[in-house]
Structure 1
Amino acid sequence: MVEIRTLHTTHELQLVQKLEKTIWGMEPIPIHQTITAVKNGGLMLGAFIGDEPVGVSYSFPGYANGKSYLCSHLLGVHPDYQHKGIGRKLKEEQKEAALKLGYTMMTWTYDPLESKNAYLNLSKLGGICSTYVENCYGDMDDSLNAGLPTDRFKLEWWIDRQFIIPKCEKQFKIPWESVQEGMPKLADVDSALSGIGDCDSVYVPVPSFFQELKQKDKLLVIDWRMKTRKIFQTLFAKGFVAVALEREQTGPVHYYKLVKQELMGVEKHEN
Structure 2
Amino acid sequence: MNDGITIRTLKTVQELHLIQELESEVWEMNPIPIHQTITAVKNGGIMLGAFYEGELVGFSYGFPGFDHGKSFLCSHMLGIHRDHRDKGIGALLKEEQKQVAIQMGYDLIRWTFDPLQSRNAYLNLSKLNGICSDYVENCYGEMEDGINQGLPSDRFNIEWWIASEHVNETTKDEINPISPFEWENGRDGFPRLKETERVLQSINLKDEAILVPIPLQFQEMKEASSELALKWRIETRKIFQHLFQKGYAAISLKKDFDNGIGYMHLLRRDLLKLEK
2:189 to 179, 182, 189: 182
Counterpart of 2:37 in structure 1 is 34
Counterpart of 1:93 in structure 2 is 96
Is 1:194 matched up with 2:197? no
What is the alpha-carbon distance in structure 2 between the residues aligned to residue 64 and residue 49 of structure 1? 37
Q: Which runs of no fewer than 5 residues in structure 1 stay unpaired? A: none
Secondary structure of the residue that 1:185 maps to in structure 2? strand
What is the alpha-carbon distance in structure 2 between the residues aligned to residue 92 and residue 149 of structure 1? 30
In the TM superposition, what is the alpha-carbon distance from 1:169 to its structure 2 partner? 5.0
Counterpart of 2:68 in structure 1 is 65
Matches within 5 A, 1:1-271: 1-163=4-166, 165-169=172-176, 171-197=178-204, 198-266=206-274
Secondary structure of the residue that 2:188 maps to in structure 1? helix
8 Å contact kept, 1:41–1:60: yes
What is the alpha-carbon distance in structure 2 between the residues aligned to residue 14 and residue 250 of structure 1? 42
In the TM superposition, what is the alpha-carbon distance from 1:173 to its structure 2 partner? 3.2
TM-score by length of 2: 0.93
Query: Partner letter of residue 47 of structure 1?
Result: A
Q: Which runs of no fewer than 5 residues in structure 2 stay unpaired? A: none
What is the alpha-carbon distance in structure 1 between the residues aligned to residue 40 and residue 212 of structure 2? 37
8 Å contact kept, 1:196–1:202: no
- Report which stretch shifted further, 185-194 or 66-75: 185-194
Note closer, same or farther for the CA distance 1:185–1:129 as it changes in structure 2 (3 Å cut): same
In the TM superposition, what is the alpha-carbon distance from 1:224 to its structure 2 partner? 0.2
Matched residue pairs, number?
A: 267
Note closer, same or farther for the CA distance 1:183–1:242 as it changes in structure 2 (3 Å cut): same
8 Å contact kept, 2:164–2:273: no
Secondary structure of the residue that 1:130 maps to in structure 2? strand
Note closer, same or farther for the CA distance 1:186–1:6 as it changes in structure 2 (3 Å cut): same
What is the alpha-carbon distance in structure 2 between the residues aligned to residue 212 and residue 261 of structure 1? 32
What is the alpha-carbon distance in structure 1 between the residues aligned to residue 240 and residue 138 of structure 2? 14
8 Å contact kept, 2:10–2:48: yes
In the TM superposition, what is the alpha-carbon distance from 1:48 to its structure 2 partner? 0.8
Note closer, same or farther for the CA distance 1:46–1:210 as it changes in structure 2 (3 Å cut): same
Query: Partner letter of residue 216 of structure 2?
Result: S
What is the alpha-carbon distance in structure 2 between the residues aligned to residue 27 and residue 236 of structure 1? 34
In the TM superposition, what is the alpha-carbon distance from 1:51 to its structure 2 partner? 2.5
Note closer, same or farther for the CA distance 1:174–1:165 as it changes in structure 2 (3 Å cut): farther
What is the alpha-carbon distance in structure 2 between the residues aligned to residue 262 and residue 125 of structure 1? 19
Identity %: 51
Calculate the aligned-residue CA RMSD, in Å.
Answer: 1.4
